[in-house]
Amino acid sequence: MNNKMLNTYKLPYCKGCGHHLIARNTETAFEKLGIDPLNTILVTDIGCQGMLDRYSNTHTVHGLHGRSAALGAGISFGLSDPKKKIIIFIGDGGSTIGLQHILEAARLNLDMTVIIHNNMLYGMTGGQSSGFTPCSFNTTTIKNENQIPNYDICKLVRSLNVNYVRRIIARGDFSEELKEAIGSVGFSLVEVVELCPSYGLKLNPGMKMDKLLEESGQEEGVWRHEKESKTEYKYKYNNPSLFEQTKQIEQEFKHNLKKPFSIIMAGSAGEGVQIAATFFANASIASGLSANQKGRYPVTVGVGFSTAEIIVSPEEECKYDLGELDVIIITSIDGLKNNRKYIKEMKNGILFIDKSLELPETSAQIISHDFRQIGAKSAAIYALFYAIKHTGIITQEALTKTIKQHRIGSKIPLEKIEEELSKKD
């Protein structure tokens, strides 16, 4: 078992940033506990700490600002396996925005560990004050004028009688403290107080962290519920695990694939690109292939482009590697703009593109067709059927049955799609 939480020693933080220490000490805590990273879900927030996703060997979820604790709570509700660990990384800015999410997770004593990266300001957006900024701490928005006390998150969470709360100043090895928090059952929270080298250090030269905490009425320490209860306050959630509710896909169809096959589907938000990709991945699994799927779209949901990347393979394990693309499907101008680079670099594959769009520069074979004729919301699915007909990746029957078995299958105009596919180009 590989207990390494991180896949690199070089992390994306400024020199001297306490985020380095938190990441490294969390990794050491994992090793001490013997935690398999693949039994861990790391939920990160908007902010510098959130850049850790790509450097982590755990499962990762990246949330909107202040929402990582809420996402972690949802995951905790859906899991019933004590071997699984849910770790929340969030900054003081995210904690300010999502304070109620943290308190609710604590109140319900959900099985998760929140690690707050508290550098007392919004480090990613310019060094502005947060709700965790002490009165004597200078930021780019308040200097020597702050008279409003900061939130004491440890005090707030302690009032909810959770099992484990700790405050640490980021220095040296504090992996043992993180080990204790992560190893506890129920809700635990660790606030790591640190300084941002880009703003905190520059605006507060000579600042001593111990003195800063003392002046703000806070201190390092650990607080445990006096009864050390691990179940008394556990929220009674009777629904089965979400994983238990997930239906296993059995092989029903055959395929003729000899090597991994990669495909990009792209269009506009709200036009069914992601669900079409899911249909294709599931139908591929039902055909005896393994599949890997990734979605790309703007943070603002419902507008702009929507791109899905899918790799299917005859091998048991489908590694995520697009490699040389075999197929690109483009059904709208948004999808075209977002994927011009991939289209230009494409060599031997096939580009399926809606005929309303200007043909881009590419060495690939181009097949232009009116995919939007049956409606924008079904264009991606129609284009997928069309591509399957021309490439034979999987059978049309496999895709049709997969769609019919889905909860929204009745909304897909399959008869109209079949009618169009039967026509000669």
Together in a domain, 186 and 101: yes
The mean pLDDT of 340-354, rounded to a whole number, is 94
Together in a domain, 180 and 286: no
Together in a domain, 191 and 270: no
* Both structure tokens of 306: 């929507």
User: Where residue 386 sits, what CATH number does that domain have?
Assistant: 3.40.920.10
Instruction: Tell me, yes or no, whether 238 lies in a domain.
Output: no
β-bridge pairing 121-122 and 128-129: antiparallel
Residue 327 burial (10 A CB sphere; 0-12, 13-18, 19+): buried
Domain count, the chain: 2
Together in a domain, 128 and 212: yes
Distance (Å, whole) CA 88 – CA 102: 10
Tens of pLDDT, residue by residue over 294-326, are 998 886 656 799 999 999 999 988 888 888 899
Which residue range is the domain that position 274 belongs to?
261-421
Together in a domain, 265 and 391: yes
Identify the residue with better confidence: 243 or 251: 251
Torsion of CA 204, 208, 210, 216, to 10 degrees: -30
pLDDT at 229: 45
Concatenated DSSP letters of 113-130: EEEEEE-SEETTTTSEE-
The mean pLDDT of 17-22, rounded to a whole number, is 93
Distance (Å, whole) CA 382 – CA 361: 24
Tens of pLDDT, residue by residue over 106-158, are 999 999 999 999 999 998 888 899 999 999 899 999 887 778 899 999 999 99
* Among 224, 244, 274, residue at a domain's last position: 224
Task: Indicate if the pLDDT at residue 1 is higher than 60.
Answer: no
Together in a domain, 218 and 335: no
- Work out the percent of the chain whose per-residue pLDDT is above 70: 93
* Both structure tokens of 417: 């799609």
Distance (Å, whole) CA 345 – CA 339: 10
Together in a domain, 96 and 164: yes
Start-to-end Cα distance in the chain: 54
Distance (Å, whole) CA 241 – CA 355: 45
Mean pLDDT across the chain:
90
Instruction: Tell me, yes or no, whether 114 lies in a domain.
Output: yes
pLDDT at 243: 64
> Could you give the 3-state DSSP secondary structure of residue 202?
helix
Tens of pLDDT, residue by residue over 32-74, are 999 999 999 999 998 899 889 889 999 999 988 889 999 999 9
pLDDT at 82: 78
Q: Which residue has the tokens 């948004």?
A: 334
Tens of pLDDT, residue by residue over 399-421, are 999 999 998 999 999 999 999 99
Instruction: State the pLDDT confidence band at 423, using cuts at 50, 70 and 90.
Output: confident
> Could you give the 3-state DSSP secondary structure of residue 261?
strand
> Could you give the 3-state DSSP secondary structure of residue 331?
coil
Distance (Å, whole) CA 187 – CA 157: 10
Q: Packing angle between helix 175-183 and helix 18-33, nearest 10 degrees? A: 60
* Among 224, 242, 271, residue at a domain's last position: 224
Together in a domain, 192 and 284: no
Together in a domain, 34 and 177: yes
* Among 174, 202, 224, residue at a domain's last position: 224
Ramachandran sector of residue 283 (left: φ over 0; alpha: ψ -120 to 50; beta: rest) = alpha
Whether 348 and 364 have beta carbons less than 8 Å apart is answered as yes
Together in a domain, 203 and 287: no
pLDDT at 227: 47
What ranges in 268-351 are assigned the alpha helix state H? 273-286, 333-338, 340-345
β-bridge pairing 350-354 and 290-296: unpaired
Instruction: Tell me, yes or no, whether 241 lies in a domain.
Output: no
Q: Which residue has the tokens 């003729």?
A: 256
- Among the residue ranges 21-35, 311-325, 345-359, 389-403, the one predicted with the least confidence is 311-325
Whether 280 and 263 have beta carbons less than 8 Å apart is answered as yes
pLDDT at 323: 85
Task: Indicate if the pLDDT at residue 232 is higher than 60.
Answer: no
pLDDT at 237: 53
The mean pLDDT of 97-109, rounded to a whole number, is 94
Instruction: State the pLDDT confidence band at 226, using cuts at 50, 70 and 90.
Output: low
Together in a domain, 275 and 399: yes
Torsion of CA 105, 108, 112, 115, to 10 degrees: 40
Among the listed residues 61, 118, 122, the one whose alpha carbon sits nearest the alpha carbon of residue 87: 61
pLDDT at 66: 87
Distance (Å, whole) CA 78 – CA 375: 36
User: Where residue 212 sits, what CATH number does that domain have?
Assistant: 3.40.50.970
Together in a domain, 80 and 148: yes
Distance (Å, whole) CA 292 – CA 311: 5
Instruction: Tell me, yes or no, whether 237 lies in a domain.
Output: no
